[in-house]
Structure 1
């Protein structure tokens, strides 16, 4: 879980053990598992120094190993926060604890500020692929958190889009569920449909306002009597058949207006 010592840190430890011997004993758990001191143990073996061991006698060996290593290692607060958060995620916590209470408890045990733990927790939940890069210091915690926030916002937007698509465009929602479209792609298609529908309604409205109002204004005048075929628009003669179609169209229009309760 912890990154290996850097060459500089390993050199410092080696020279310290060579000069002063092993200052801090290797800590083992009750079952003999190494809890603290793997680098010190490796250096002792390399130098031929007899290591000293001690046994942890508490009831939280994992918590001890986490706390002591975070406090002893030269880690950035971002690294420490991510290591602590990752360790917390792999252990059972009191189910009665809220997330905030769990964060405060972890902060008290590790010395890592709660604010940094919260950033690490956000990365764990929304951009888990950046957990190891943060631990190895390849990516800073703040940058990883920014990416995680972006991903969280996208995920929330996708959920909201899908919820609306289920109501407004079920066919597109089905395509998202089947994996044929992403929520964003489906939402964009839905918006395109809405725009196209608005365009068609606008064109239809302009046409009807122009044609029907002009026809209504001709009522009771000599406009119809003055119709002269020699002046008709090319390809658009007004015949009895055309008039019959127009009357049918007006009847249909009247029915729609009544259904929609338009004035």
Structure 2
């Protein structure tokens, strides 16, 4: 990636606007706030059958899960995640915030420990074997079936950079379930003192360069063609309609920032 300091003020402002457009699309939220009131107003339901927090999220996801529990938005709650490419980062975030997790703790176990220590929350369902988004989906559905839960509404809470892709995975594998998408944060980028920076700071937020790399690795995965993850390609997710504006924004950011395509980590392949 190029040095951002080499960009003009006009270019920086356009990059910030483009990053925000892309992150808003990828970090989908079906409701502004995850509360009983918003669920009733928007979907006509009093509660979700279950919301699931996934281990690819930054630590802010645990606070979002706590808010959901406090708001009584569901009958059951799930934490999902074994070990994947972002596990070391989550482990370090836990340590930095005073949660002494074991070096071999899974993502689900780490989130559980954080929620217990910080809020006294106890999650009733944990999935600890997943290593990637694909088996995040299949293992979650298997866990729900194992516990005899007839889930008709499922909340999906994942890192904003991969929220839309994970949601599309659930739509493919369980089209009969109503999915309520709620990304764990909405980070807006601004220009200050000729620098790109976050206007808000979700807990455990990515380093800026890592955030850009994650965002710019997603649209190519969402494509429904021979190279994408859709039905016409790898078949990992349901078809996702990517608006022309997002395709243009993604292309512009790749061109001006010179970010290479992020490849999947084969170490965590199913």
TM-score interval, normalised by the smaller of the two chains: under 0.3
Q: Which has the higher contact order (CA 8 A, sep 6+)?
A: 2
Q: What's the TM-score, normalizing by structure 1? A: 0.27
Larger fraction in helix: 1
Q: What's the TM-score, normalizing by structure 2? A: 0.27
Larger radius of gyration: 1
